[in-house]
Structure 1
Amino acid sequence: MGIPEQSVSAWSAVANEAQAALKDRYWNEKLGMMNQWYPPAKAFGEENFYYWWQAHVMDVLIDGLERTGEAAYRELLSELAEGVRSYNGDTFKHNYYDDMEWTALALLRAYDATGEEPYLTNALELWEDIKTAWNDHMGGGMAWKKDQLDYKNTPANAPASILAARLYRAYGKAEDLAWAVRIYEWNRENLVDPATGFVWDGMNRLGDGRIDKDWKFTYCQGVFIGAGVELYLATRDEQYLQDACRTTTACFEELCAAETLLLPDEGVDDTGLFKGILIRYLLEMEKVAPPAERDAIFAVIEANALSLRDRGLSRELGLCGPSWVNPPMLPIQLSVQLSGVMLLEAMARLEKK
């Protein structure tokens, strides 16, 4: 399946093609999950299991469902959720707190999109386990994983704040809002550059209290922006929106190429997912941003989508690589393809809007 030539006004068609390629190239019918490579490098189970990638598969299927209303997305989402739970030992719980947060966010969206109660039940069960991440090491904050409780990072804190704020907005429990604020404030005070608003990755990774300021990742910016947006929507406190605007500007200045607005090639494995996560939360920011910031967000998403569509996609396979400038080389990881699908879905949503 190839990607046909498209006009700028046909982003939904491009997103459809990318979604079809995702299913055709990666879906493992036996396991009810996506393979982690195309073509598969090894049999599933003979390589490291990236549990959190499957959460983002759920997210992109929900993107397709919300955009098209097609039942096929809903059916595949149901199979995937059951497949992940089964493969993970008949539970969604995991050693990594951030992985559970991604999954809980996807399950909550799945419930909102389908109304099917098990998604909500599982999301709430995860939330109860996620809350055990908070501890006094490094002055508070959510731990990255259960066997390294003194390492605190943005990927374990900002998504938890997003989840808590969304639960508050949906169900009105004051406790959830308190969690969202508490986690966000720790993240802002400890892992956001006070001079610029740029978000650092983590602190005390090696047990030395050091902040990894040289780890400049797109998804750290995205989830902190997303947390600010959710808390703004929950409270209407303008400070949260101002924080999100500031980090958006810092992100573009630090990570986008000055002339082209293109985001960097962050490589493969987990980092292959990072740009797509940034795009997802920039899309949420675009809904509430002041006009200047909204225009800047649109410009970045459009520039990257045009580059991916015109230069970064394999016409033969419908797949993309970690660069949205150059066609990919096989084998292609699922994480990398997911980022491309998120970008094209975002552009399709902006087109529809």
Structure 2
Amino acid sequence: MYPSSLFQALLLSATLVPNVFAQSSTTTDPTQRAELALSALQIWYNAGSGLWNTCGWWNSANVMTMVSNLAKHDSGNAQLVNLATRIFANTIVQAPAKNPQPGVESQSATKRSNGNETYDLFNSTGKESGYYKMIGEDAEPITIFPKDWDKAEYIDVKNLPIMQPKEQVTTVAASNPNDWLDGFYDDDLWWALGWIGAYDVTKDTQYLTLAEGIFKAVTKAWPTACGNGGIWWSWQKDYMNAIANELFLSTAAHLANRVQDSDKAFYVDWAKRELDWFTNSGMINERGTINDGLTNDCKNNNRTTWSYNQGVILGGLVELNKASPDATYLPLAARIAKAAISELSDSDGVMHDACGPLCGGDASQFKGIFARNLQILHDAAPDAAYVKSIQANAGSIWDNNRDEGNMLSINWAGPFIAPANASTHSSSMDALVAAISVN
């Protein structure tokens, strides 16, 4: 299934933690568990593409965010931080060539009126590649890639010049924000958050500048056809959903806490505008959980309360509260978090999405995104309910959802479902990383 350089990849990854297989069965240390899982994850990292094989375009951005979080949690591990730094430096160079639909967002849109509001509608550009995302009959997101998109020669990370022995990678190549845009605004913002994570680990301002450029490009998706606010899901402007808007809020709030003081107000203003629109949109239901999006007549569509829709907003609210404190932000986050834990957990406290256990390539990452952001909320407003949830999920993953090679699959409650892939594994790792700070 994997190329001959797998053995080299294993040698590289195994250096993080010695005696990998001997230690994995007995260790109870959350940090060591996460690093053992990282060793397994590196099998899928393709240095030639800058992405993780077996998962999609935005999914690799999400994997990168998880790697940066682990590096931040264990910042004293120089080898881990150096590995993360090299991954960032390689991905920023290699990954743009795998953008499944570059240039499509530069369309000249048609202006249409809806009552007193004017907004942009899709207008074909001839740059469509066949990359498409849709909602399936069971409400699960489905991504369709251009033919042979996932075909890429495997190159071991050690064989690239950026990975040759040196104490630390100190510079990265500048990147054009347009290289990361693919017509779906949630994808764009996953990459923006990924580069913010890279900046947090390395303090290289080129990563932060790239994230700013991506965010500013996405502001053109504002407003939607509802309430003169919010952003569309895609360049086709045919769906207003939760995840794109939560990511817009979270990215703006993250940037507000990292840019120069002279630029902070710009991002705070966008985050507040988004939050005001979102809380008035109706997507937060009476139970306190968040449905997938809005109907064409601007009503809650009552579609699935996916775990990632309950998660991303938590991190956004925490970051906005740091940037511009408000007494309502953390209570709102707590209400959503506790409603989600109640609604999406089984009797053992283990999270499940509606598609489970056999979710597709997108939904297989959702639970980890919730765990990641729940930990962020706990850091800002500690709560025993968050600790219980994170520990229950991380413990069950390690005990019930892991094979002999420390591969982590889709069903956090177990049993292990083969084969694992980079999406299922990184999602599970998000919970393992979250457990480090609540132990």
Query: Structure 2-normalised TM-score?
Result: 0.71
Map 1:169-248 onto structure 2 (within 5 A): 169-171=257-259, 172=261, 173-193=264-284, 195-204=286-295, 207=296, 209-248=298-337
Moved more, 86-95 or 339-348: 86-95
Per the alignment, residue 13 of structure 1 pairs with 32
Q: Aligned residues: percent identity? A: 28
Query: Aligned AA for 1:181?
Result: K
Match in the other structure for 1:342:
430
> Residues 279-332 of structure 1: CA distance to partner in whole angstroms, max 9, x if unpaired?
11101100122x5xx1100000000111111111112x2112210122433333
Q: Distance in 2 between matches of 1:262 and 1:155?
A: 22
SS class of match (1:193): coil
Within 5 Å, give how 1:117-132 maps onto structure 2.
117-132=205-220
Answer yes or no: is 1:63 the counterpart of 2:69.
yes
Matched, 1:98 2:186: yes
**Equivalent in the alignment of 1:280:** 372
Asked whether the equivalents of residues 321 and 337 of structure 1 are also in contact (C-alpha less than 8 Å), the reply is yes
Higher RCO (CA 8 Å, separation ≥ 6 residues): 1
Secondary structure class of the residue paired with 1:36: coil
Q: Which amino acid aligns with 2:284?
A: D
Measured in 1, the distance between the counterparts of 2:275 and 2:326 equals 14
Q: Which residue of 2 aligns with 1:23?
A: 42
- Which range is displaced more, 170-179 or 334-343? 170-179
Cα distance in 2 for partners of 1:327, 1:278 equals: 21
In the alignment, which of 387, 403, 408 is matched to residue 320 of structure 1? 408
**Is there any run of 5+ residues in structure 1 with no aligned partner, and where?**
38-49
TM-score, reference length from structure 1: 0.87
Separation in 2, partners of 1:4, 1:184: 43
Deviation readout 1:73-122 (Å, 9 max, x if unpaired): 21122212322123225711221101111110110121121022321221
Structure 1 range deviating more: 76-85 or 179-188? 76-85
Larger C-alpha radius of gyration, 1 or 2?
2
Q: Residue 6 of structure 1: CA displacement?
A: 3.2
How many angstroms does 1:247 deviate by?
Answer: 0.7
**Cα distance in 1 between the residues matched to 2:375 and 2:40:** 23
**2-side partners of 1:7 and 1:221: how far apart?**
31
Provide Cα deviations, 1:26-60, integer angstroms capped at 9, x if missing partner. 122332321016xxxxxxxxxxxx21011112112
Question: Is the 1:201–1:212 Cα contact (8 Å) retained in structure 2?
Answer: yes
- 1: CA distance between counterparts of 2:420 and 2:66? 17
Residue 271 of structure 1 is matched in structure 2 by 363
Assess if the C-alpha contact under 8 Å between 1:58 and 1:81 holds in 2: no
Counterpart contact for 1:61–1:74, Cα < 8 Å: no
**Corresponding residue of 1:36:** 54
Alpha-carbon shift at residue 209 of structure 1 (Å):
4.5
From 252, 256, 259, give the equivalent of 1:168: 256
Which amino acid is the alignment partner of residue 286 of structure 2? A
* 1:230-273 alpha-carbon deviations (Å, 9 max, x no partner): 2222222110111111111211121112x311101542310011
In structure 2, C-alpha distance between the alignment counterparts of 1:143 and 1:136, rounded to whole Å = 6
Instruction: Work out whether residues 199 and 224 of structure 1, in 8 Å CA contact, stay in contact via their aligned partners in 2.
Output: no
Say what the alpha-carbon RMSD is for the aligned residues.
Answer: 1.9
- Does the aligned pair in 2 maintain the 1:184–1:227 contact within 8 Å? no
Residues 120-157 of structure 1: CA deviation (Å, up to 9, x unaligned): 2211110111111112412221111111x141111101
What letter matches 2:424 in structure 1? Answer: V
Secondary structure of the residue that 1:332 maps to in structure 2? Answer: coil
State the shift of 1:210 in Å: 4.9
Unaligned runs of 5+ in 2: 1-19, 103-175
> Is the Cα–Cα contact under 8 Å of residues 269 and 333 in structure 1 kept in the other structure?
no
Q: Label 1:329 to 1:195 Cα distance change in 2 as closer, same or farther (>3 A).
A: closer
